[in-house]
Structure 1
Amino acid sequence: MSAPVPVTEDLLRSMPLPRHQEGEDKDERGRVLVVAGSVEVPGGALLTALGTLRAGAGKVRIATCRSVAVPLALAMPEARVIGLAETQAGGIAAEEAEPLARGAAEADAVVLGPGMIDTQAAAALTAGILAGSADAGVPFVLDAAALRGLSAGETPRSLAGRLVITPHAGEMATLLGMERKAVLADRLAAARRAAAAFQAVVVMKGGCSYIATPDGSAWACDRGNVGLATSGSGDTLAGIIGGLLARGAPPVAATLWGVFLHGEAGARLARRQGLVGFLARELLAEVPPIMAGLAPPG
């Protein structure tokens, strides 16, 4: 197969993000449903939801465990927060899949998975939401524990072309049923294999991230650095991609832009603060000026 195409400023300018006109309301800038968090990691939902708004989405709803819903709503007054039934392990109960599928059908993008710690419940919840909203036409970003709800050959066909998945090496190994060291030996091949198996746009996360599509097309983004290997960083990436999808960017464009914005945010923080020690939450304030710098004039 051909070598991956570098993700550069010029490439992104050739696929500009949707532009929003004065007079548009927040619904026209896109509505995101974030299904995320747990009793122990409510911050995963917070970082993801913040990422959606920093990427330019107009509205975000967070669906999370009932016992952390009020504190989360206070921490993020910009979001509507919905409390859900919990498992004994502190995750979102799988029985919530049906109402969440209805909520997904009302959104412009859905992000599933960040901060979920009950992996068994997360897998069942994800599978139920995908099955229940497969015909709604909404794009999905699956991250972290939600990836366990995928099964090659069993993902609803109607989701093809509307699914973005963002695994790290360990999650990719589980998805493909292979050893982590084998994934690391050829991360691009793993990304292409997963894209074909799940009919998804795949982000194989790393210092150089690879993005692949089901037809074998691939891109490489080397904007990342070791500072991005910090708690919550992946949650912010998932949120950024979800926000761009909600605004109307196609899945490939939203993913390429999201990976670049995330990596460039880390690069800017590293230049100002040092290579390690910046926080995932600090990445997000960098995103709007990076987008503005790449926007066409006028």
Structure 2
Amino acid sequence: MRAVHTVEEIRAAEDALLATLPAGELMQRAVAGLVAACARMLGGPYGARVAVLAGGGNNGGDALWAGARLARRGAQVHAVLLRPDRVHAEGLEAFRSAGGRVVDATDGDGVRAALAGADLVLDGILGIGGRGGLDPLAADLASRAREEAGLVVAVDLPSGVDPDTGETPGAHVVADVTVTFGTGKTALVVDPAAAAAGAVHAVDIGLTPYLPEARATVLEDVDVAALLPDPGRASDKYSRGVVGVLAGSDRYPGAALLAVGGALRGGAGMVRYAGPDAVATAVRARWPETIAGPSVAETGRVQAWTVGSGLGEGRGEEVAAALDSGLPVLVDADGLRWLPDRFAGPALLTPHAGELARLLGVDRAVVEARRLHHAREAAHRWNATVLLKGATTLVVAPDGRVRANPTGTAALAAAGTGDVLAGLAGSLLAAGSDPLDAGSTAAYVHGLAGRRAAEVSGYPSAGDVLEQLPAVLRDLRR
């Protein structure tokens, strides 16, 4: 499980570690990892052209020290200084001593010479203390680096993004690669900032023993395998979990088929479907192991409810019956229209940005710009875990814990994939997972299934994603 920490937590851990090290040692650990990553990207630094965009403070110092080491290994390195009055003195001295060339950011000819044809640009403008976007001079340099040079490598995080929120409050660097130090930052896993980070390479600088338990994390295969239900030889359908599915309508019958399929392919011991007769007939034809009833009240014993996919209009009483059952519940899509003021029991809401915007009474663009903020707001307001779908899906619990999903893929940008996710997460709720585990595990598995489906069909449908779930689950359990 990859940890994500706040700037305050990182600063405190750095101070504690610094107290145990010789002066300058911590920076040199970071620089060594940065240089090693850059050397790999360049295929060796000898003969390469490198530009360093150096702001004031330690982030600029990291970049200057890295530039010095690359120069000593045969690279031609220019450093563009944005804040000559606040430049890291030791880093600048080392850079000059290694033969690096220094230009002021206001020197147009010097900047052109530094950037034109550069194989790699190191973004050392702002570090984790930066807020509010880039000033005009830095923004112009960032734009020109993107347009005129080769790889853009951010030092710790792209300059101009907000490290603790994942927001992009102004102009910012768009990197191809980010080399980050010590621990994860929110800006590297939460959009829109994560979209500016490119591929993220982590460098261990010895910070872990001094960091608190992370409240935000990113799951990995081994974590998901441990969270998946593991039926034993004495299991029955109830120990595997019985899911009630209230989904689909005469207009959207496919939503029921996909949600039921997601639950069954996700490992549910049984699915009980509640819905219109015509849809129930289609569900039984596709999934004959499903038990169907006309209403929530007549469905029979279930251990969790998945509610909302493709319900359409006029189903409020049925939704209320499922939400009032006292059982764990997942609410998706149309079911989000009928939320209670607050949930008393375990609940998982699965909106996309537009649906969350309607719930909160704001524009979709506002949610997209502040995804973590609004997911937290909804989790607190409804006392429910919120799974906010997107390129970087977020799962946020009412107590503030956050999991960012790393398996997002454009392959899931197809109608009905959310219905599959709803059924899959519902099966995990029914098997006993809490909403945070169910949502984050389902999102992870769903993303992997989307990737596999894309390998098979290029542009997969929701049905293609559904059919890949068993293979993904099998491989994770190995």
TM-score by structure 2 length?
0.53
Find the residue that maps to 1:203 and give its secondary structure: strand
Check if 1:60 corresponds to 2:279.
no
Contact 1:111 1:239 survives alignment (8 Å): yes
Give runs of aligned pairs for residues 144-293 of structure 1, distance below 5 A: 144-151=333-340, 154-157=341-344, 159=345, 162-274=346-458, 277-293=459-475
Task: Describe the superposition over 1:133-189 as per-residue Cα deviations: whole angstroms up to 9, x where unpaired.
Answer: 13xxx21010001011114xx2342x2xx1001001111011111111100111111
Contact 2:328 2:429 survives alignment (8 Å): yes
Check if 1:127 corresponds to 2:328.
no
Contact 1:123 1:145 survives alignment (8 Å): no
Letter in 2 for 1:140: V
Letter in 1 for 2:463: R
Task: Describe the superposition over 1:235-294 as per-residue Cα deviations: whole angstroms up to 9, x where unpaired.
Answer: 0000000111222222221111100000111112223332xx211011122222222222
Task: Give the structure 2 partner of residue 90 of structure 1.
Answer: none
After superposition, the Cα gap between the structure-2 partners of 1:115 and 1:165, relative to the gap in structure 1 and judged at 3 Å, is same
Letter in 2 for 1:243: S
After superposition, the Cα gap between the structure-2 partners of 1:69 and 1:290, relative to the gap in structure 1 and judged at 3 Å, is closer
* Identity fraction in percent: 36
After superposition, the Cα gap between the structure-2 partners of 1:163 and 1:230, relative to the gap in structure 1 and judged at 3 Å, is same
Q: Which of 293, 307, 310 is the equivalent residue of 1:115?
A: 310
Contact 1:54 1:288 survives alignment (8 Å): yes
Letter in 2 for 1:155: R
d(CA) in 1 for partners of 2:427 and 2:412? 20
Check if 1:17 corresponds to 2:210.
no
For residue 81 of structure 1, report the CA deviation from its aligned partner: 1.6
Question: 5+ unaligned residues in a row in structure 1: which ranges?
Answer: 85-96
Moved over 6 A (4+): none
Task: Give the structure 2 partner of residue 40 of structure 1.
Answer: 251
Letter in 2 for 1:181: A
Contact 1:125 1:149 survives alignment (8 Å): no
After superposition, the Cα gap between the structure-2 partners of 1:175 and 1:110, relative to the gap in structure 1 and judged at 3 Å, is same
Task: Describe the superposition over 1:99-157 as per-residue Cα deviations: whole angstroms up to 9, x where unpaired.
Answer: 26xx47x2111100111111xx23443234323x13xxx21010001011114xx2342
Number of residue pairs matched by the alignment? 266
d(CA) in 1 for partners of 2:276 and 2:342? 26
Letter in 2 for 1:236: V
d(CA) in 1 for partners of 2:235 and 2:252? 35
Structure number with higher relative contact order (C-alpha < 8 Å, ≥ 6 residues apart):
1
d(CA) in 2 for partners of 1:216 and 1:248? 21
Contact 1:122 1:148 survives alignment (8 Å): no
Task: Give the structure 1 partner of residue 290 of structure 2.
Answer: 79
Task: Describe the superposition over 1:1-48 as per-residue Cα deviations: whole angstroms up to 9, x where unpaired.
Answer: 8434222223324x4322211242223211111011100111111110
d(CA) in 2 for partners of 1:67 and 1:287? 27
d(CA) in 2 for partners of 1:69 and 1:251? 27
For residue 202 of structure 1, report the CA deviation from its aligned partner: 0.8
Task: Describe the superposition over 1:179-201 as per-residue Cα deviations: whole angstroms up to 9, x where unpaired.
Answer: 11100111111111111111111
Say which is worse superposed, 208-217 or 263-272, in terms of deviation.
263-272
Check if 1:8 corresponds to 2:215.
no
Contact 2:421 2:442 survives alignment (8 Å): yes
Let me know the Cα RMSD of the aligned residues: 1.9
d(CA) in 1 for partners of 2:372 and 2:406? 13
Find the residue that maps to 1:27 and give its secondary structure: helix
d(CA) in 2 for partners of 1:244 and 1:282? 21
